[in-house]
Structure 1
Amino acid sequence: MLLFLLCLPSGGGANEQARRQARAIKENSEKDQDVVENDYESLRVLNIERNGNIIYTYKDDKGNVVFGLYDCQTRQNELLYAFEKDLEVFSCSVNSERTLLAASLIQSTKEGKRNELQPGSKCLTLLVEIHPVNNVKVLKAVDSYIWVQFLYPHVESHPLPENHLLLLISEEKYIEKFRVRVTQEDGNRVVIKNSGHLQRDRIAENFVWAQWDMSEQRLYYIDLKKSKSILKCIQFYADESYNLMFEVPLDISLSNSGFKLVNFGCDYQDQEKLSKHLSLCVFTNHAGSLCVCYSPKCAAWEQITYSVFYIHKGYSKTFTTSLKNVGSHMTKGITFLNLDYYVGVYLPGHFFHLLNVQHPDLICHNLFLTGNNEMIDMLPHSPLQSLSGSLVLDYCSGKLYRAMLSQSSLLQLLQKTRLDCEKMATLHCALSCGHGAQLLEGQIIQWISENVSACHSFDLIQEFIIASSYWSVYSETSNVDKLLPHSSVLTWNTEIPGITLVTEDTALPLMKVHSFKGYWETLNSNLENVKYAKPHFHYNNSVVRREWHNLISEEKTGKRRSTAYVRNILDNAIKVISNLEARNLEPRLTPLLQEEDSHQRLLMGLMVSELRDHFLRHLQGVEKKKIEQMVLDYISKLLDLICHILEASWRKHNLHSWVFHFNSRGSAAEFAVFHIMTRILEATNSLFLPLPPGFHTLHTILGVHCLPLHNLLHCIDSGVLLLTETAVTRLMKDLDNTEKNEKLKFSIIVRLPPLIGQKICRLWDHPMSSNIISRNHVMQLLQNYKKRPRNSMIDKSSFSVEFLPLNYFIEILTDIESTNQALYPFEQHDNVDAKFVEEAALKHTTMLLGL
């Protein structure tokens, strides 16, 4: 499930000396994974700085402690410093310019016993000038452990600043910030100014747990107030200032948990200790999420319980999973992984869970893999330490990985899994980690076209269309997740095997600052949404549905509102089609988007108008032009996905344009395409989404090919097949007048709306068509007919048939036509008059009598 990419590949050093000192690192590739091994058991990765550089130590052949740095940009190793003593290093950090090294050390003997460096002290914290090697300053010499960390307020390289900020974290439960001023002497020689007195600030004290977020320069810590665990966060800025951002109470007990640090370097803990201690960490992402992951001390291994506090949502979820085949002695602890939109929860050899951070409402949006699963086998089976960002340290091997979701593994799982809940979760996970990737979407579409009926708890086509369209515009603005649905599933009542879940409301953070930027602005927006219990603003097509039905009804009655309004809606549809064609330059396999289909264009245009208004109401501060483009992109994506699903099936069954010819029965391939088109129609109808113009025409023609007449007519009457003017015109022209085809044509004509029916009848040269035309003509003539004295001057000789009732009726029609010629120009132009009615009546009577 995870693709582990090496963060520490080997390579040459900056100079020959660095090469010799870093010879402990070598490169080995195994199955597309770069693996770093060392020849010395003493080699340890101690820290990863914000710029990605890795600090490591090892002991050379003489027992000296060597500090090395791997530059992730140049991919080279560099010697930083060496102590000619046998020391144990447990914390170190280097500034961004590599001029200062801070390290905490403990002196040890060959027997492994620690000797005091100074009376009453066991830990020595040093600040070393290393550019070039100059002075060494003692920061602390105490009888407790001290961890050190330089601040990196700038991501990019800058000229040498005057100040460097250094955090010192003491086992005595306080955190201090040192301001280290440096100056350049004799060219490039860097020395510390006023080394005798470094300015320091007390940042926090009396805490029991702390976590350092290297990438975002944030310090999280928990202090206990009246047995309550209060989580706080300090944000450090580039101008050397810092702020306490928030406080939030957590419903967890840390009173007896001891002192614990997270991400202050790489902590090589004892496995026995690791398995029994609690796990607690904080994860964020750019979308404004704030998650606290907590796993308490475990007394029994039959069940594992852990909690995730979705602070940005205002609730927590506690998951309990049962373990199978648990040995008598468990030595592996839970690891939480930050995977952007997901939190990974891993217990080696037992389970791997992917928890959806952005949309945690439904349990089916989380992926739970347990037992002997080949996806779990891809992960290391040894204890792991989650570091800042997505870095992971393997305790046993000392290997450092970068963890990320593997699209290929997710696709494999999507194809193999049998559970609907896993299909749902895997589909969303794949789309979230690869949104915008056409290759990924194409592979998912190919799978859907072959497994369209694979899910019973939800509509697979519907879910894919909604989720993929959502992710296509998600990055445009941070509030899209509040305005657009990400799933078609509103509730999920099916249990997840082996998982129980309890959801509880939690307190919202108390924000300590009032001016927000970047991540904090997005988080605050999420909190405001929860705080004021705002209703869900997710867009739906209910208004579009009502307005569309109104427009269609007006069209049938001929009382449509102003043409300017309708023209504006159709112009919206033209913009969508143009945007769609611009996104896809390759010719389409299917005959879609090649006809007017005014009804679908009306639906498309109405959706543009309504969605644009929806965004304008709720996206404050976003340019109208940008909103307009977002709307066009979203609706274009909907239509494009429908086209691609159909084309995948079209390509699979190798259909060509000959499906438009009616000289043979439908094949199995045509029936398969007809089936998936029907499923697409079902998926879009329930959500009232537009279809590409031409869809209904193609669907109807395939239906004529594949279905017996009674099934075809049932599909038409039930609304599964919609008769378009293009489709019926094709039928009237291409089908000959055999008895079977006459029955089909008549059955379709009588089901057409009057306006379309009048046009179509004139294309069919048949007595039945003449009869229908005549009936319409007579109905229109007699609609306002009032009996009046007859004109006896009509030439009776024009009636060649002595059939008195018909003669009398024709005489009335002729009289009306002669006195109201200006009222019926259309019929007169089409040669529909009393004479035509007479001939049609006689032909029809003859046909009915079999004469």
Structure 2
Amino acid sequence: MLLHLAAEFDLQRDVGPWLAERGWAAALDTSENSSALHVVNVERNGKIIYTWKGNQRETHIGLYDLQTKENEHLYMFERDLRIISCSVNSERTLLAVSFRQYTEEERVSRLLQSVSKYLTLLIEIHPINNVRVLKAVDSCVRVQFLYPVEGRNTSTESRLLLVSEDKYIEQFDICVAVEEHKVVIQNSGQLPRARVADDLIWAQWDMTEQRLFYIVPKESRCTLKCVQFYPDGSFNSILESHLDISVTDTRVKLVNFGYDDCQDQDVTSTSLNLRVFTSKAGGLCVCCSLASDIPDVIIYSIYFLHKGYSKTFTVSLERTASHQLKEVAFLNLDYYVAAYLPGQFLHLLNIQHPDLLCYSLFLTGEDARIDTLQNGSIQSPLMSTILDGCIGRIYAVSISDSALLEFLQKSKRDSERLAALHCALLCVRSTADLEMKIICWISENLSTCHSFDPIQEFIVASLYSRMCSETHNLDKLLPYTSLLDWIGVIPGAVCTTDIISLPVLEFQNSKGFWEKLNSNLESVKYAEPHLHYHSNVLRREWQNLSEEQKEERRTTTYLRNIFENAKKVLSHLDTWDSEERLVPLFQEEDYQQQLLMGLMVAQLKDHLMRHLQYVGKKKIDQIVLDYVANLLNLVHRIMKEVWKRYRLHSCIFCFDERGSAAEFAVFHIMSRILEATNGMCMPLPPGFHTLHLGLGVRCLPLHTLLHYIDNGVLHLTETCVRKLLKDLDDTEKNEKLKFSIVTRLPEALGQKVRQFWNHPINANLIARKYVKLLLEKLGSRQCSRPISERRPVPVEFLPLNYLTNMLAEIENQGVHPYEKQDHVNVRFVEEAALKHTMMLLGLKYS
């Protein structure tokens, strides 16, 4: 199962034994009344309020503390009552209870028409003293104490929200005093109250952040509003957003205001099934399931208010059993919201990046099954928490990394693979073990993913996950994917996207969620797609500087700073231990890769400075160095896992043997790593090209090797070529290989390594290049004076005599292209040409 549920609270497990010890066995007998023991509320500080029936059918209220694992008896009514709502203040001195006194039939039979159907009480419980009536009405009322600050000291004030089905919400201010070790309500008359909201048809309480979301119908659409409550007792309306949702049922629907065991029995197909979810990164989503006129079709919409658009999904059910189907349950998983229909589907939608459907997991059949949940009341009172009201359990919800990996391995569609890969890297916060398994999966599926490069996605998503948790707004500036768009579909679900108006925020000096949400909205307003770092400019600059350096046109302060950046990155890397030395990387200088490293540091730093000035230059420098160093670490991590998997030795630079099948497999993976990093213009660890070329020499036939070199797949490095020329003997086959390599060397590199091959072919090649360069330098210049006298040539070979005389004349005119190589001169060319001529004629030269 993809979602892992751990039961943090279970009525039968955590409360049942405690009740049995105290002789309340009737509470455990559910045969007569299924509501004998059930949860009625979950408070902010992790305390769970529950109710049960005693041996004489009296009604008890208890409290369980998740942290101390202890139960506490709060209050008892001597009558058999149905508790509607209950809340206790943080000091556990006051208890608010709403209950139904009589059913309509009981009132008629007892001639109690003048007696209110529902009663709401405020009770002093430390110790038990007075009872005050807050409401005596015929409409249902919910109560909820505010918890402004977690862990605050004992306060003399408490505030209570009272939510009425008559479509209004009030806040009561309650002052208490300590008298002779008794906590009593101080207000002598009517309790002060303030109206919080009016004319609402839906409301949801956010216990963690002390926020009230509610909806007011306005003509053809609804308006979502939010009231924020503060520690000092004040509150204000902070958000307003228009939603294109039509409401046919105007009864009040309440979410997270306690959990009445019978509240879901009256749910109809026209009731408003809606939830508001927030994320730590400033995401705000409205999830709503809509009534469908088509049988066996479920429609639900997700309004991504922080992005400015909504997505509506139409799902055709494969098999239906109408007696089992309930509402779509919406769950808050922080990085994802989940739409769950038991027995049908589980849809995880990425909150941070909802634009591309390939980042959402849509599961059906066995993949969507969640065994421990019943088909009844499923609610999400807190982030990553599920309350199953039918059996009285509270679960901590997490995405199972093992199930996610299993799903990744068996998936046949690119959309599923990509969604699972991103979920593992961004949401699960992958461990070293999970990362290793993902790398193994990537190495096995390089050719099965057609619409994305798994290596690119692994590198980019891993970097994004590691870096963005450190600094606010960094997630808007760093790339999270290598994809620019996605044209695929999700089988089983049809999606339509609509632009919606951005919500209006009114707040001052508010930190935390509201500040992050406002930042997200500002990004949408001001061209969010242009904020993410892109490598286009980096690629052009790298190519330009590489060409200039080949021609040795400049060595500027700018270039010195670039290479200084690269040195900082390399010194920033962790010290490799003996196991990590298994792969021979980071053991040589690589000019091209250091140039790219330094350029990436410079350009990424400029990009962040434009948008994160308030962070400070020192912090940005650290972020950039971490980013590039982590990039190199990730490539090295891939190489290390591949090296270990194929059991390669630490050194593969032995060219007198052919490569094994394992080496060829690693060579192929390295080629794909090179392709992936080239596609994103990302640097590679120094030594990567040397290692790649060494494997290529061992594994590829000569014509394929040369083809890879000519097409830029393999890069000739000084370390590898020098070892190749020194270690291989001069058999005919090896001469051909060496000659083919030497003729392809760039001029600067060729001058460094040709001296390591003491062979007439190499001498001839050097002579040819020398003559060619002399003649190019000469150009159209004509020799104006007669050929100078020279000592006689040892062999009467007129073309050679003429050539050497002409070269001597050029040298006399001051053209010395090989001044730095004293062994290359006219005499050397003469000797090389003579040797080559004698070889061609099959004569022995001495």
Q: TM-score range by the shorter chain?
A: over 0.9
Matches within 5 A, 1:444-483: 444-483=438-477
Partner of 1:76: 70
Contact 1:94/1:150 (<8 A) preserved = yes
Q: CA deviation at 1:727?
A: 1.5
Q: CA deviation at 1:281?
A: 0.8
Matched, 1:283 2:283: no
Matches within 5 A, 1:590-739: 590-739=583-732
Corresponding residue to 2:94 among 72, 86, 100: 100
How far apart are the structure 1 equivalents of 2:106 and 2:7?
Answer: 32
Evaluate the alpha carbon distance shift between residue 726 and residue 429 of structure 1 in structure 2; reply closer, same or farther with a 3 A threshold.
same
Evaluate the alpha carbon distance shift between residue 255 and residue 112 of structure 1 in structure 2; reply closer, same or farther with a 3 A threshold.
same
Q: CA deviation at 1:469?
A: 0.9
Contact 2:774/2:816 (<8 A) preserved = no
2:63 maps to a residue whose letter is: L
Contact 2:26/2:53 (<8 A) preserved = no
Q: Which moved more, 1:330-339 or 1:306-315?
A: 330-339
1:134 maps to a residue whose letter is: N
Evaluate the alpha carbon distance shift between residue 87 and residue 702 of structure 1 in structure 2; reply closer, same or farther with a 3 A threshold.
same
Partner of 1:146: 141
Partner of 1:32: none
How far apart are the structure 1 equivalents of 2:834 and 2:695?
Answer: 37
Give % identity: 54
Partner of 2:515: 521
Q: CA RMSD in A?
A: 2.8
Partner of 1:20: 22
Matched, 1:368 2:336: no
Partner of 1:30: none
Evaluate the alpha carbon distance shift between residue 38 and residue 97 of structure 1 in structure 2; reply closer, same or farther with a 3 A threshold.
farther
How far apart are the structure 1 equivalents of 2:576 and 2:24?
Answer: 51
Matches within 5 A, 1:51-70: 51-70=45-64
Q: Any idea what the Cα deviations from partners look like across 1:497-554, whole Å, max 9, x if unmatched? A: 1110110111111223344322111111111222344552111111111111111111
Q: CA deviation at 1:584?
A: 7.7
Contact 2:26/2:54 (<8 A) preserved = no
Contact 1:393/1:399 (<8 A) preserved = yes
Evaluate the alpha carbon distance shift between residue 330 and residue 823 of structure 1 in structure 2; reply closer, same or farther with a 3 A threshold.
closer
Evaluate the alpha carbon distance shift between residue 489 and residue 380 of structure 1 in structure 2; reply closer, same or farther with a 3 A threshold.
farther
Partner of 2:3: 2
Q: CA deviation at 1:116?
A: 9.0
Matches within 5 A, 1:230-629: 230-269=223-262, 273-274=266-267, 276=269, 277-373=271-367, 375-377=369-371, 379-435=373-429, 437-562=431-556, 564-581=557-574, 587-629=580-622
How far apart are the structure 1 equivalents of 2:32 and 2:811?
Answer: 104
Q: Any idea what the Cα deviations from partners look like across 1:686-708, whole Å, max 9, x if unmatched? A: 11111111111111111111111
How far apart are the structure 2 equivalents of 1:104 and 1:583?
Answer: 65
How far apart are the structure 2 equivalents of 1:638 and 1:195?
Answer: 68
* SS of the residue 1:207 aligns to: coil
Structure 2 length normalisation: TM-score?
Answer: 0.93
Q: CA deviation at 1:52?
A: 1.0
How far apart are the structure 2 equivalents of 1:204 and 1:843?
Answer: 101
Corresponding residue to 1:835 among 827, 832, 840: 827
Contact 2:378/2:386 (<8 A) preserved = yes
Evaluate the alpha carbon distance shift between residue 847 and residue 126 of structure 1 in structure 2; reply closer, same or farther with a 3 A threshold.
same
Corresponding residue to 1:122 among 105, 117, 120: 117
Contact 1:25/1:37 (<8 A) preserved = no
How far apart are the structure 1 equivalents of 2:645 and 2:166?
Answer: 68
1:843 maps to a residue whose letter is: K
How far apart are the structure 2 equivalents of 1:378 and 1:655?
Answer: 45
Evaluate the alpha carbon distance shift between residue 481 and residue 17 of structure 1 in structure 2; reply closer, same or farther with a 3 A threshold.
closer
Evaluate the alpha carbon distance shift between residue 367 and residue 45 of structure 1 in structure 2; reply closer, same or farther with a 3 A threshold.
same
Q: Any idea what the Cα deviations from partners look like across 1:457-487, whole Å, max 9, x if unmatched? A: 2111111111111111111223222211211
How far apart are the structure 2 equivalents of 1:259 and 1:377?
Answer: 32
2:229 maps to a residue whose letter is: F
How far apart are the structure 1 equivalents of 2:567 and 2:31?
Answer: 60
1:432 maps to a residue whose letter is: L
Q: CA deviation at 1:60?
A: 1.6
Matched, 1:826 2:783: no
Contact 2:275/2:288 (<8 A) preserved = yes
Q: Which moved more, 1:358-367 or 1:104-113?
A: 104-113
2:93 maps to a residue whose letter is: T
Q: Which moved more, 1:536-545 or 1:508-517?
A: 508-517
Partner of 1:29: none
Q: CA deviation at 1:299?
A: 4.5
* SS of the residue 2:73 aligns to: strand
Matched, 1:198 2:188: no
1:714 maps to a residue whose letter is: H
Matches within 5 A, 1:755-766: 755-766=748-759
Partner of 1:806: 800
Q: CA deviation at 1:335?
A: 0.2
Contact 2:774/2:815 (<8 A) preserved = no
Q: CA deviation at 1:813?
A: 3.6
Q: CA deviation at 1:255?
A: 4.1
* SS of the residue 1:723 aligns to: coil
* SS of the residue 2:319 aligns to: coil
Contact 1:352/1:376 (<8 A) preserved = no
1:549 maps to a residue whose letter is: Q
Evaluate the alpha carbon distance shift between residue 819 and residue 250 of structure 1 in structure 2; reply closer, same or farther with a 3 A threshold.
closer
How far apart are the structure 2 equivalents of 1:132 and 1:615?
Answer: 59
How far apart are the structure 2 equivalents of 1:778 and 1:849?
Answer: 22
Corresponding residue to 1:787 among 777, 783, 792: 783
Q: CA deviation at 1:802?
A: 2.1
Evaluate the alpha carbon distance shift between residue 61 and residue 37 of structure 1 in structure 2; reply closer, same or farther with a 3 A threshold.
closer
1:835 maps to a residue whose letter is: R
Q: CA deviation at 1:381?
A: 4.3
Q: Any idea what the Cα deviations from partners look like across 1:249-269, whole Å, max 9, x if unmatched? A: 110012424210011011334
Contact 2:308/2:500 (<8 A) preserved = yes
2:523 maps to a residue whose letter is: N
Evaluate the alpha carbon distance shift between residue 25 and residue 229 of structure 1 in structure 2; reply closer, same or farther with a 3 A threshold.
same
Partner of 1:134: 129
Evaluate the alpha carbon distance shift between residue 116 and residue 850 of structure 1 in structure 2; reply closer, same or farther with a 3 A threshold.
farther
* SS of the residue 1:659 aligns to: coil
Alignment size in residue pairs: 835
Q: CA deviation at 1:176?
A: 0.5
* SS of the residue 2:201 aligns to: strand
Contact 1:102/1:148 (<8 A) preserved = yes
* SS of the residue 2:573 aligns to: helix
Q: CA deviation at 1:270?
A: 6.1
How far apart are the structure 2 equivalents of 1:583 and 1:505?
Answer: 50
Evaluate the alpha carbon distance shift between residue 165 and residue 337 of structure 1 in structure 2; reply closer, same or farther with a 3 A threshold.
same
Contact 1:274/1:332 (<8 A) preserved = no
Which structure 2 residue ranges, 5 or more long, are not aligned?
none
Q: Which moved more, 1:427-436 or 1:567-576?
A: 427-436
Contact 1:22/1:78 (<8 A) preserved = no
How far apart are the structure 1 equivalents of 2:566 and 2:37?
Answer: 64
How far apart are the structure 2 equivalents of 1:166 and 1:752?
Answer: 81
Q: CA deviation at 1:440?
A: 2.5
Q: Which moved more, 1:759-768 or 1:478-487?
A: 478-487
Q: CA deviation at 1:586?
A: 5.5
Q: CA deviation at 1:219?
A: 0.3
Evaluate the alpha carbon distance shift between residue 9 and residue 416 of structure 1 in structure 2; reply closer, same or farther with a 3 A threshold.
same
Q: CA deviation at 1:204?
A: 0.7
* SS of the residue 2:241 aligns to: strand
Matched, 1:845 2:846: no
Q: CA deviation at 1:581?
A: 2.2
